[in-house]
Amino acid sequence: MPTLGSFALLLALALSGYNLVAGAIALRQLATGARGRVSPERLAETARRAGIGSFIAVTAAAFALVWAAFTNDFSVAYILHHSNRALPTSYKFAALWSGQEGSLLLWAWLLTGYGFLLRLRHKVDVKLTAYASTILAGIQVFFLLLLNFAAPPFSLVSGTIPQDGFGLNPLLQYPEMVIHPPMLYLGYVGFSVPFAFALGALMMRYPGEKWIHITRRWTMVTWLFLTCGIFLGAHWAYSVLGWGGYWGWDPVENASLMPWLTGTAFLHSVMMQEKRGMMKHWNVWLIFSTFALSILGTLLTRSGLVSSVHAFAQSSIGSWFWAFLVIVLAVCLFTYVLQRDHLKSEHKLESLVSRESSFLFNNLVLLAACFTILWGTLFPVISEYVQGNKVTVGPPFYNRVAVPIGLFLLFLTGIGPLLAWRSSSFKSIRKNFILPVVAAFVTAIVLIATGMRPWQDSGAFYSLVAWSLAAMVTVAVGSEFLRGARVIQRHTGQNLFASTIQLTRRNTRRYGGYIVHFGVVVIFIGLAGSAFNQSKEQELNYKQSMTMGPYRIECLDYSQDSNPNYDTEYALLDVYRSGKKITQLAPEKRFYQASQTTSTIVANHSTLAWDLYVIYAGKDPDNGQPIIKVFLNPLVAWIWIGVIIVVLGTFVALIPNMSAALAASRSRVQVAEAPVLAATKGGN
Amino acid sequence: MRRARISQIGLLTLLLVFTLGSADTGVRYNDLSHKMMCACGCGQVLGECNHLGCPDSEQMLHELRTDISKGQSDTAILEAFQAKYGPTILAAPMLTKFNIVAWVVPPVVLLLGIFGTFALVRKWRLRTVATPAPSAVRGFDRIRDQIRKETEI
């Protein structure tokens, strides 16, 4: 199998190389009108087929590695270092991305997979797809060069083959780790497709905005994967690392957030290009930056340039990524300089108080947030270069600098949909804004009246602002739904709920977007709760108890156990509220034999109000009693609920609109359809 | 005169909002423990480092409690920790020398962006030449007015 895997990777490199070279020659011939021995159309077709073949070859390589993991083939060095016999089956599959070489193979597999779909669907626009396919082939060549020469996953162990492997990092032995990295990679890698289309469209001076229509779904799906990947990572950190938090502003976390921010900005600003033919330069650079940031994130975490507790796959391949990043930026810049006259805007911004300007400011704030994170991540390196010593840029910096930017973004989320395209009159602003603003003020007053003291610390102040803005945005989003649904209700006689469904189905993109905005609001509500986290640590013997908030936690038992994979110490805790037992928790501390490392298994009782988050912190060496650390984290569940709403909203936005004809046939009052349709298609 | 007085009162209120409660020892302990990293290399803020067998966090937290009880100022405590454990012990750069750049650059970039956007929009608006609407658009205007009326809350 290792031989098959190595050969498959070499074959994939050859096929991708052919796709790149033959594709480039064919496109050059098509552009200049030159003819060779083979017609450019046939040459381009062979390039496309080679690209499809590269996916099959990389799939074979990935299969060979997974097979080696499942069959405990410890002659493969990668399997020796990232698996062992006692490792459960699902985690053996996860071994594919637990180390440097495997994760690069996963990247290459996903990249060729995306390329496979793109090349299969080439008829959507043969020439543009040929450009995109050739550009993707260039990216494939880079990753396959890495896999063949810098980080080969099928290297064999020299000397005697050990009987058992060193095991998988215990932190990765958690169910979410089976889906978090693939999700994140699907996001990172997926941005290659809109990038390839954007660069291809610019190279061929593609007329119109069709490339945006073609890539819209790609971009949204990619964004969705990245969103899920980021939040699965946050949930994993919350459940496994055992420090009571979900986001630590670690460089690896930051690396995933940066392309997400620019990707989000791109998703918003392409609407300006579609609707008004504006911001073409900006959009091209946004997608270039998003792709470059995906590569930069990988570079930061793998090169050792910045230190991270999450970098499970660090090595010296950073120089390869540097070189690739420089080449990518050089190609982008060269193409842009050559073709920038093609990107002339069809309209100009007419008013500062308009939907367009809200998109512009939304983009600005998203990019400012991205810059702040990049700046904070790189500042230790800059400091070392300038001052000769490294400094740490940790949570206090981001909380102070990035949180206000985030709140400003939340504010824009609320006001953007209330502004009209081109220009908004003062009268309409007053009419649309009065309710959301009142909601914000009422929320703030109610929170202060119920005991919140924003003047006591900055955390409480930010939380108050966040919850007030959340109320504002919720009312703004709700009123948008209500406004449209009432029009439909008036003309069709349906109830309000049915009207809302119909409204959403008529313009899924717009109303799906609003659902996403609402999800973001719910996430912010949850994030703001972190200002009121409480924690307590105590030794608990049999029948002893401790209180935390409204809960009483009583130690029922503590013991230890073992299985072939790990030894475990745990405590059994009964949780009471108002004298009534509500649940039993069993926090654990595991010791993995193969890797000789420990990990925490958190026990969490989650409700909408707060999480009772319990950690087994070990035994007191003097008396052998378990030490229990308890956190009471308010509103954490809202974050995960918010993510589910974001996912649902994105799915809604991906569904094609209900056709106007169908809508008309279902409507009882057909004459009034024109204004209804126009009302629901007013903007996104 | 009245406006100036209102502004002064507003400013004072804001100052009160941001300074109240800062002298509380518990708040100071919590605040300072979140301004430093644990020296063990786990990458966690000192106040949140709770992993099994950490060789440093207990000792560091004890030192912090002692320093606070001695009545030392926040800056003096942070400088003492920095001198003992090195500059990377601080969870964020202090406002000294070059490090101030870390704090200043992001807001400056955001402000420049905002001013730049305002300037750009103003430039575009000045360039925009009003063109009379073609007759075919009139029908749309009527429909749009109808939509506005019908979609009002």
Q: For residues A226 and A204, what is the distance between their CA atoms, to the nearest angstrom?
A: 29
Is a pLDDT exceeding 80 seen at residue B5?
no
B37 touches chain A (CB under 8 A): yes
**Segment (H or E) for A123:** none
Same domain, A33 and A88: yes
Count of domains for chain A: 4
Q: For residues A645 and A528, what is the distance between their CA atoms, to the nearest angstrom?
A: 18
Q: Which of A348, A371, A618 sits opposite B52 (nearest CB)?
A: A618
The reply to whether residue A352 touches residue B121, judged by beta carbons under 8 angstroms, is: yes
Same domain, A189 and A299: yes
Whether A380 maps to a domain, the answer reads: no
Whether A425 maps to a domain, the answer reads: yes
The reply to whether residue B92 touches residue A400, judged by beta carbons under 8 angstroms, is: yes
The reply to whether residue B150 touches residue A393, judged by beta carbons under 8 angstroms, is: no
Whether A469 maps to a domain, the answer reads: yes
Q: Which of B43, B92, B143 sits opposite A678 (nearest CB)?
A: B143
CA proximity to B121, closest of A283, A355, A352: A352
- Shortest distance, CA A679 to any CA of chain B (angstroms): 6
B121 contacts on A by Cβ (under 8 Å): 349, 351-352, 357, 360
Q: Which of B88, B118, B143 sits opposite A390 (nearest CB)?
A: B88
Sign for the CA dihedral angle at A512, A516, A517, A518 comes to: positive
At A672 the pLDDT is: 46
The reply to whether residue B93 touches residue A598, judged by beta carbons under 8 angstroms, is: no
Going along A511-565, which residue ranges are E strands?
534-539, 545-548, 551-562
CA proximity to A627, closest of A640, A616, A643, A638: A616
At B145 the pLDDT is: 60
Q: For residues A465 and A451, what is the distance between their CA atoms, to the nearest angstrom?
A: 15
Q: Which domains are seen in chain B, by residue range?
A: 2-92 (1.10.8.640), 99-151 (no CATH)
A376 contacts on B by Cβ (under 8 Å): 102, 106
- DSSP string of A29-68? HHHH----SS-HHHHHHHHHHHHHHHHHHHHHHHHHHHHH
Query: What DSSP designation does B129 have?
Result: P
| Phi (first) and psi of residue A574, to 5 degrees | -90, 135
A279: left (phi over 0), alpha (psi -120 to 50) or beta: left
Same domain, A64 and A7: yes
- DSSP string of A485-507? HHHHHHHH---HHHHHHHHHHHT
Which residues are CB-neighbours of B153 under 8 A, at least 6 positions away? A431, A435, A479, A482, A483, A486
Same domain, A365 and A435: no
Sheet holding A603-606, edge to edge: A534-539, A626-634, A610-619, A603-606
Q: Which of B16, B20, B98 sits opposite A387 (nearest CB)?
A: B98
Whether A379 maps to a domain, the answer reads: no
B50 touches chain A (CB under 8 A): yes
For B142, other C-beta atoms within 10 Å of its C-beta total: 10
At A63 the pLDDT is: 92
Whether A377 maps to a domain, the answer reads: no
Q: For residues A451 and A346, what is the distance between their CA atoms, to the nearest angstrom?
A: 53
Same domain, A403 and A390: no
Residue pair A546/A627 in contact (Cβ under 8 Å)? The answer is: no
A275 Cα distance to chain centroid: 26
A307 touches chain B (CB under 8 A): yes
A674 contacts on B by Cβ (under 8 Å): 143
**Average pLDDT for runs of 10 along chain A of length 684:** 89 95 90 78 91 94 92 89 83 82 91 93 86 94 93 86 80 79 90 93 81 86 94 88 81 90 92 78 91 86 64 67 92 90 72 77 90 91 84 86 89 80 72 87 91 78 91 91 88 87 88 93 92 84 88 88 84 91 90 76 90 86 83 92 95 80 51 47 44
Interface of A with B in 321-380 (CB under 8 A): 348-352, 357, 360-361, 364-365, 367-368, 371-372, 375-376, 379
Query: Hey, which residues does A613 pair with through a beta bridge?
Result: A604, A631
Same domain, A49 and A97: yes
Query: Which of A119, A143, A168 corresponds to the end of one domain?
Result: A168
Same domain, A494 and A363: no
Tokens of A278: 């504006």
B40 touches chain A (CB under 8 A): no
Q: What is the pLDDT of residues A408-425, one digit of tens each?
A: 899 988 887 777 776 667
Q: What is the pLDDT of residues A621-671, one digit of tens each?
A: 777 788 888 899 999 999 999 999 999 999 999 988 876 445 555 554 444
Find the closest chain B residue to A365 by CA distance: B110
Q: For residues B101 and B105, what is the distance between their CA atoms, to the nearest angstrom?
A: 6
Same domain, A404 and A278: no
Chains A & B: contacts with CB separation below 8 Å: 166
- Shortest distance, CA B128 to any CA of chain A (angstroms): 7
CA proximity to A571, closest of A557, A582, A581: A557
Same domain, A212 and A307: yes
Whether A80 maps to a domain, the answer reads: yes
A548 Cα distance to chain centroid: 34
ipTM of the complex: 0.77
Domain that holds residue A235: 172-317+324-372+385-394
Q: Which of B50, B89, B92 sits opposite A243 (nearest CB)?
A: B50
pLDDT category of residue B6 using cuts at 50, 70 and 90: low
Residue located via tokens 């019908």 = B150
Same domain, A476 and A556: no
Half-sphere exposure of A157 toward its Cβ, with a 13 Å CA cutoff?
16
CA proximity to A313, closest of A154, A522, A184, A151: A151
pLDDT category of residue B139 using cuts at 50, 70 and 90: low
A467: left (phi over 0), alpha (psi -120 to 50) or beta: alpha
Tokens of A468: 């007030």
Query: Which of A116, A149, A168 corresponds to the end of one domain?
Result: A168
Whether A74 maps to a domain, the answer reads: yes
Same domain, A520 and A607: no
A383 touches chain B (CB under 8 A): yes
**Segment (H or E) for A474:** helix A458-492
At A682 the pLDDT is: 45
Same domain, A442 and A512: yes
Query: Which of A137, A168, A199 corresponds to the end of one domain?
Result: A168
